[in-house]
Structure 1
Amino acid sequence: MGAAQPADVAAFLDDDPAGAERADRQGRDGKVSLISRRAVLTAALAAGLTGRQALARDMALGLAQRPPVKPVPGSASLIARADLSGQVCYAVFDPSAGAMLEDGAGSASLAPASTLKMVTALYALDRLGPSHRFRTRILRAGDMLVLAGAGDPVLSSDDLADLAAKLVDTGQGSPKRFAIWGGALPRIEEIAPPQADHLAYNPALSGMILNFNRVHLGWRRGGDSYEVSLEARAARNSPRAYTITAHPAAQQDLFGYRFDDGREVWTVSRSAMGRAGSRWLPVRQPELYAGDVFQTLCRAKGLVLPAPEVIDSLPAAEELVSHESPPLSRVVEEMLYYSTNLTAEVIGLHASGAPDLTASAAKMREWVAAQGLSDDFSFADHSGLSAESRVSAVAMVRLLAGPGLEAGLPDLLKHNPLAGVADDDTPHRAEVFAKTGTLNFVSNLAGYAIAPSGRRLAFATLCSDGPRHAATRGQEMPAGVSSWTRRAKRLQHELIESWVARFG
């Protein structure tokens, strides 16, 4: 006998005679094969081995081989398994090779939702420059003090508080008039008219913007009535908004709105209020809102301003103090991270210089065409809120692979935006930098996936149930939309993992 055999192999060999036909179960072709003890012994004798040594050798070789690798499911099978109503269109592109790796209905035009913000970001960065800043000023024209907006999309109550402190430090006395000018951008009553009036992401827009033109509404029941607060909320300063009021009402609609005697008046359905709650509401009179807040902040520092008035033209004036926004590159990064619709419309309007959103969107379309891209883009706004905008997956990945990489877009996008969507047993091979786009029964994802090998892919996945989207436009959380969106996002994750496994 030769050297002692491993215990597991010896145990196998010591089985009863009924197991004499068992041997190597892993053939070269991956199929199970049965080799008789007599055949093994015959071959072993020729090689100078004992029967037990020969069987041990063959078993060790078989156990050392890895099991077959489970095949990676293709895009079509993943889409079929998801059983998602509507259309699923996608494209995957290799920027380094300039090659389209795969697409499924990639030329179909669908609503981009907030993935359109990537196009707007590239457009604004190209036209204005990444270092561009928006400068809000305080001017003095005779006996009038002017708060002159610059269309700063990220101006906050904290910024106005700093501006008030600077103004007080100049030693200025109280003026006879206090005016607000918002003419740096066109006046737009609602950035998405088909959306419900009370949705905070659908405010008015002008060159005077504060807190994304939102006001914070809070309420708490006290006996038979409610205590209601309206605040221009920011991180450090949350002054009361005096030009906006709200009160409970016996009404069928959740919210009602009117502009009455210089004030914005909101009514809230009493039956829906419960014991306490809060939410953001859109601002429809942004100049009066900003003027009211600045007046309060100045009064807190000892400078009394008269009631604010809105002016249409900016007079010749002396600049007293100013506030500058962060650079556009940072504004864009925050817009893409938080998907702020107002910021998208504002920077798009600044980039185009157009008088309204329709004309501005057309200017952006001309810019895209000038980049040498296809005609598979149609824009009605800059945020993606409009149902009239259209993109194709193929056109989107070509934009990402060309102008997107040239502008450093991957560094501005959210890292792994689908984190938490997939189950723990789902592979997580890819590093993803991408932008989501979500409307009712619309769920899109576009950006870049980096494989473990370092290979970068540009991708776009557009999921849309057109009839259900049209039927629920403007509604908040219609029936079925949450589960549909979860399934769409899980499918997007699985598709990315499939692409990285097959092409990475």
Structure 2
Amino acid sequence: MMAIFARRAATTLAAAALTFYTGSAAWADFSRLNQLQDEGFAISAEARLLDGPQQTLGSISPTRALSPASVTKTYMAAATLNRFGPQHRFTTRLKSLASADDDGVLNGDLWFEGGGDPGLTSENLWRLVQRLQQAGVRHINGGLVVSQWRFGPVKCITTDRCEAQEKVANAYSAPLSSAGVNFGSWCLNVAPADRPGEPARITHCDGPQALTAVDNQLTTKPDDSGTQISAVRLTGTHGDVVRVSGQMSTNAWPRDIYRGASNGAEQTADTLTAMLGRFGITFAQPPRVTTAEVPQPASTLAAVDGKPLQELLLRTLNYSNNYMADVLALDLVETPHAELEQAGRALESYVATLPGHGEVTLKSGSGLTTDNRTTAHGINVMLESMYHQSSLFPSFVAALQSPENGVMTFTRRGPESFQHNVMMKTGTLNEPYAVRAAAGYFRTATGRWGVFSVLVNGSSTTPYLNWTKVLEPLAVDLDAMITAH
């Protein structure tokens, strides 16, 4: 990981920098980024060195509170690492008040206790069901009960998630539940039919049948006709329906489509029921969902641990996964039936332990809402705190991206020192106004560590803000700071 920050010869860095400007020391500030203020955008920015003598390299209204968008996820990552530690795993369990008799009959309900694992997938469920079968269970003389007592269904606080209760054309607006699986989304596999003119073949990603109703309007076309697929999940009185339309060439490869379910726990119940059936485990009653805790003294019949927290954070921050970020924030709440407002307060409680941070308002862990507010100075205080925690910092910085090698391709631009000597998290919102944010660490030409945070907010009267207009001046400004020190 730290190889990304390998020290480069000062002469090499200076040569690269000269293609963008001259006199780097004189220009080592945020002067280029600052020009966005002339277009009506509000900016809070700060960059400073960490080890050695404290030195601020550049700042623009560093204590001005603005929306950080998905940079919020760095607070969530820091708070969860401090609470749980990098190797913590969230556990999902199957429990019952009964035990299987000699014939494999469980005379009671089978409870699925969601452990708040944001990375719970079908693979985990397969292992869970396999362990249940190994425990000798063949028939449940009751029903499957999915318990989301920790949190869920969580009240929506953003337009995307509220609208997604009835209609959604993406996966990131999936509902939040401590018993959610596959990131709260339906997964459909679509493949062309054998002959043109026939409907495409649509199945569930984990089996031969679709677990939710499908309105198949996807037509197979001749070879090399092109593939254009549109999918939307609609919810009415009869539950979820995924409408898939467009066309697919006969020689096109199959592909998976993810769309947020309307109810994460119910989607888990359907998915788990299908898996139990494929293992030959039957039920006397239909599955149901509850917010009640598993009755005591129920015993664990099977359990599966999720991936370590440091791996969850790598995926959450690299792909800016909103579902995972908000589930992890909800995991910070110690009382049952948690809501995002409580998760926000848990994050704010963590911030309160950071001396000199200043004001902050956090309503979610994902940053989907512009109600989240913080300052560039405050973010840097948090980043510096993590830098000085040697047992946590490797996991924290590894969850950030280097501009050159990150999954967000729009960052792959700018001077070489910016590409190679920076690790950062970006944040983007377009409604109700534009937000472009970036924060993270950099290494200077002499090997010193620094932190930077940049928040750029528009308003209802400012134009759309292309990332290029922020990233290009930021990259050059940071390059000047890196090469000058």
Structure 1 length-normalised TM: 0.73
Contact 2:93 2:113 in 1 (8 A): yes
Structure 2: distance between partners of 1:159 and 1:207: 15
**1:32-71 mapped onto 2 (5 Å cutoff):** 70-71=22-23
Which residue of 275, 297, 300 corresponds with 2:275?
297
How far has the Cα of 1:297 moved from its partner? 1.9
Post-superposition Cα deviations, 1:84-118, rounded to whole Å, max 9, x if no partner, equal: 76234310122223443320122222211111111
1:212 paired with 2:205, answer no
Contact 1:217 1:279 in 2 (8 A): yes
1:17 aligned partner: none
1:78 paired with 2:32, answer yes
How far has the Cα of 1:379 moved from its partner? 0.9
Structure 2: distance between partners of 1:240 and 1:255: 18
How far has the Cα of 1:266 moved from its partner? 3.8
Post-superposition Cα deviations, 1:225-273, rounded to whole Å, max 9, x if no partner, equal: 7446353x4xxx4564424544559xxx984622434x312446x5xx3
How far has the Cα of 1:371 moved from its partner? 2.0
Post-superposition Cα deviations, 1:116-162, rounded to whole Å, max 9, x if no partner, equal: 11101111122233332211111123422222211111111011111
Which residue of 285, 295, 301 corresponds with 1:320?
301
Contact 1:239 1:293 in 2 (8 A): no
Structure 2: distance between partners of 1:424 and 1:343: 28
- Alignment length (residue pairs): 413
2:366 aligned partner: 383
1:135 paired with 2:98, answer no
Contact 2:70 2:426 in 1 (8 A): yes
Structure 2: distance between partners of 1:410 and 1:242: 37
Contact 1:418 1:489 in 2 (8 A): no
Larger helix fraction of residues = 1
2:290 aligned partner: 311
**1:345-384 mapped onto 2 (5 Å cutoff):** 345-353=326-334, 355-384=338-367
1:114 paired with 2:44, answer no
Structure 1: distance between partners of 2:34 and 2:357: 29
Q: Secondary structure at the match of 2:445?
A: coil
Indicate the larger mover: 183-192 or 283-292.
Answer: 183-192
Indicate the larger mover: 449-458 or 95-104.
Answer: 95-104
Larger radius of gyration: 1
2:49 maps to amino acid? D
Structure 2 length-normalised TM: 0.76
1:416 aligned partner: 402
1:428 aligned partner: 417
Closer/same/farther in 2, CA of residues 425 and 375 from structure 1, 3 Å limit: closer
How far has the Cα of 1:221 moved from its partner? 7.6
Structure 2: distance between partners of 1:399 and 1:218: 42
2:14 aligned partner: none
**1:59-458 mapped onto 2 (5 Å cutoff):** 70-72=22-24, 73-79=27-33, 86-96=41-51, 97-141=53-97, 142-176=107-141, 177-190=143-156, 192-194=158-160, 197=164, 198=168, 199-217=170-188, 226-227=199-200, 229=202, 231=204, 233=205, 237=206, 240-248=209-217, 255=232, 257-261=234-238, 263-267=239-243, 273-275=246-248, 279-305=257-283, 307-313=286-292, 314-316=294-296, 317-353=298-334, 355-406=338-389, 407-408=392-393, 410-417=396-403, 426-428=415-417, 430-440=420-430, 441-458=434-451
Structure 2: distance between partners of 1:449 and 1:303: 54
Structure 1: distance between partners of 2:157 and 2:327: 10
Closer/same/farther in 2, CA of residues 284 and 368 from structure 1, 3 Å limit: same
Q: Secondary structure at the match of 1:109?
A: coil
How far has the Cα of 1:278 moved from its partner? 6.2
1:498 paired with 2:477, answer no
Structure 1: distance between partners of 2:414 and 2:264: 49
1:43 aligned partner: none
Contact 1:434 1:447 in 2 (8 A): yes
2:103 aligned partner: none
How far has the Cα of 1:79 moved from its partner? 2.6
Closer/same/farther in 2, CA of residues 333 and 80 from structure 1, 3 Å limit: closer
Q: Secondary structure at the match of 2:175?
A: coil
Q: Secondary structure at the match of 2:317?
A: helix
Closer/same/farther in 2, CA of residues 146 and 76 from structure 1, 3 Å limit: closer
1:308 maps to amino acid? P
How far has the Cα of 1:343 moved from its partner? 1.5
Structure 1: distance between partners of 2:311 and 2:124: 16
Structure 2: distance between partners of 1:468 and 1:256: 33
How far has the Cα of 1:175 moved from its partner? 0.7
Q: Secondary structure at the match of 2:417?
A: coil
Contact 1:241 1:293 in 2 (8 A): no
Comparing both chains, which one has the higher relative contact order based on Cα–Cα distances under 8 Å and sequence gaps of 6 or more?
2
> Identity, % of aligned pairs?
20
2:178 maps to amino acid? G
Q: Secondary structure at the match of 1:391?
A: coil
Structure 2: distance between partners of 1:438 and 1:81: 20
In structure 1, stretches of 5+ residues that fail to align are 1-68, 472-479
Contact 1:288 1:309 in 2 (8 A): yes
Contact 2:315 2:399 in 1 (8 A): no
Contact 1:166 1:321 in 2 (8 A): yes
